[in-house]
Amino acid sequence: MPAPSPRYTGPAMAAHWIMAVLILVAFPLGVYMQDLPLSPDKLKLYSYHKWIGMTVLLLFLPRLLWRITHRPPAPLPMPAWQHRIAESTHHLLYLLMVLVPLSGWLMSSAKGFQVVYFGVLPIPDLMGKDQGLGDFFLQAHKLLNFALLALVGLHVAGALKHQILDKDGTLRRMLPFGQ
Amino acid sequence: MPFRTASLALAASGLLLTGTAQAIEYNQVDATRSSLAFTSKQMGVPVPGSFKRFNASIAFDPARPTAASTTLEIDLASIDAGSREANDEVVGKQWFNVKAHPTARFVSTGVRALGNNRFEALGKMTVKGQTRDVVAPFTFKQEGSGGVFDGGFVLKRMDYGIGEGPWADVSAVANEIEIKFRVVANAGPAKK
């Protein structure tokens, strides 16, 4: 039996799972909250959603810097086309980790509702109030989110395929425990 | 000396009366240049809004501010609360209940001079059938033949039942609503 592949570094794992949880909470929250009739709960959910999004954006830069300065474990054996898909998926996921919260931030600014992080720290608006642009960024935010959903689906499907079908122990590389 | 004091007071009031005769009253409100804005805080987010239609009648003489009086009537249905969704909501029963209470009214009971063109209007604010005392500091600036009144005060929405039921939750929409007004008024003939 070959020696198990090395793991990702601790900070890489932490960033991966923290981002995963944040995205998996923010996405359904975003889908759910927008159809609610206006109520105090709706205002609260919108705020929570925005705080989560800003957290993702905030974590992105250190995560990217860590990724650039730390080589991840070598890819597991797989056909070249699968490797290309995996790599493209990772690149696009990184791109959307920025574009999704950024489009939400732009939408908030254009719609005239500033983001106030945790209700205390005002985040500067990226533009003045503009109803037309607000609606545009709403559509952009939706579209980017469904792209993100598709990519996360592909990413998870790939991981499960490696874990269950190839039995190559791909998951433990991203987990701090297990053999 | 009581007698002396009295005569001084008489002399003073005589001066004031003379002043009135020549004084200008800024009583013709320029609706297009006047504005009534407010800022609510929703989850800590300042959300600006305004009322598009309001009537103000002002009798103000900078030389005799204490004699000033004003009535402000706000057409509550003309509210812009920051978004279409909010506009639809705030005219409803739990907020302004515009059907039953279409106007809000401020009637001054007095004006105090604070010096340096700064004043304080005292009065009664009536919204949604509730009347409360209000103190609104403002400044007065002469501008050509007219005058500009700039001021504001903090209105506690729960004093008037603005936002009932679930909206009574002040952690979502803060109790304090910051009101800012700018009334541009031209001098008209002094009323007596």
Q: Please name each of the domains of chain B with its CATH number.
A: 25-188 (2.40.128.110)
Per-residue pLDDT of A9-56, as tens digits, reads: 999 999 999 999 999 999 999 999 999 999 999 999 999 999 999 999
Which residues of B fall within a CB distance of 8 Å from A38? 85-86, 88-89
> Rounded mean pLDDT of B36-63?
92
Residue pointed to by tokens 């005292």: B122
Supply A134's token pair.
Answer: 């607000």
Cα A66 from chain centroid (whole Å):
16
Per-residue pLDDT of A55-112, as tens digits, reads: 999 999 999 999 999 999 988 889 999 999 999 999 999 999 999 999 999 999 999 9
Task: Judge: A114–B42 Cβ closer than 8 Å, yes or no.
Answer: no
Please, which pLDDT band fits residue A1 given cuts at 50, 70 and 90?
very low
Q: Using CA atoms, how far apart are residues A123 and B8, in angstroms rounded to an integer? A: 60
CB A138 within 8 A of CB A107: yes
Which residues of B fall within a CB distance of 8 Å from A44? 43, 172
Tally A–B CB contacts below 8 A: 45
Task: Judge: A111–B83 Cβ closer than 8 Å, yes or no.
Answer: yes
User: What per-residue confidence (pLDDT) applies to B190?
Assistant: 57
User: What per-residue confidence (pLDDT) applies to B29?
Assistant: 85
pLDDT: which is higher, B28 or A63: A63
Residue pointed to by tokens 């932490």: A14
Please, which pLDDT band fits residue A2 given cuts at 50, 70 and 90?
low
Quote the minimal CA–CA distance from A91 to chain B in Å.
Answer: 34
Q: By C-alpha distance, which of B184, B187, B181 is closest to B138?
A: B181
User: What per-residue confidence (pLDDT) applies to B175?
Assistant: 98
Which residues of A fall within a CB distance of 8 Å from B47? 112-113
As a residue count, chain A comes to: 179
* CB contact residues (below 8 A), chain A span 47-66, against chain B: 47
Task: Judge: B166–A39 Cβ closer than 8 Å, yes or no.
Answer: yes
> Rounded mean pLDDT of B52-78?
90
Task: Tell me the three state secondary structure of residue B125.
Answer: strand
Residues with Cβ within 8 Å of residue A77, at least 6 apart in sequence:
A168
Task: Say whether pLDDT at B111 is over 60.
Answer: yes
Return the H-helix or E-strand segment holding B124.
Answer: strand B118-127
Of A38, A41, A47, the CB nearest to B89: A38
Residues with Cβ within 8 Å of residue A135, at least 6 apart in sequence:
none
> Rounded mean pLDDT of B63-68?
86
Task: Judge: B43–A43 Cβ closer than 8 Å, yes or no.
Answer: yes
Whether B86 and chain A come into contact, CB under 8 Å, resolves to: yes
Average predicted confidence (pLDDT) for chain A: 94
Angle between helices A40-69 and A80-111 (to 10 degrees): 140
**What is the interface pTM, i.e. ipTM, of the complex?**
0.84
Q: Using CA atoms, how far apart are residues B93 and B91, in angstroms rounded to an integer? A: 7
CB A119 within 8 A of CB A47: yes
Fold of A10-174: Fumarate Reductase Cytochrome B subunit (1.20.950)
Domain map of chain A by residue range?
A: 10-174
Please, which pLDDT band fits residue A169 given cuts at 50, 70 and 90?
confident
Q: What pTM did the predictor assign?
A: 0.85
CA dihedral A18, A19, A20, A23 (to 10 degrees): 130
CB B161 within 8 A of CB B130: yes
Residues in a beta bridge with A163: none
Whether A138 and chain B come into contact, CB under 8 Å, resolves to: no
| Chain A residue nearest residue B92, CA to CA | A38
Whether B189 and chain A come into contact, CB under 8 Å, resolves to: no
Please, which pLDDT band fits residue B150 given cuts at 50, 70 and 90?
very high
CB B56 within 8 A of CB B70: yes
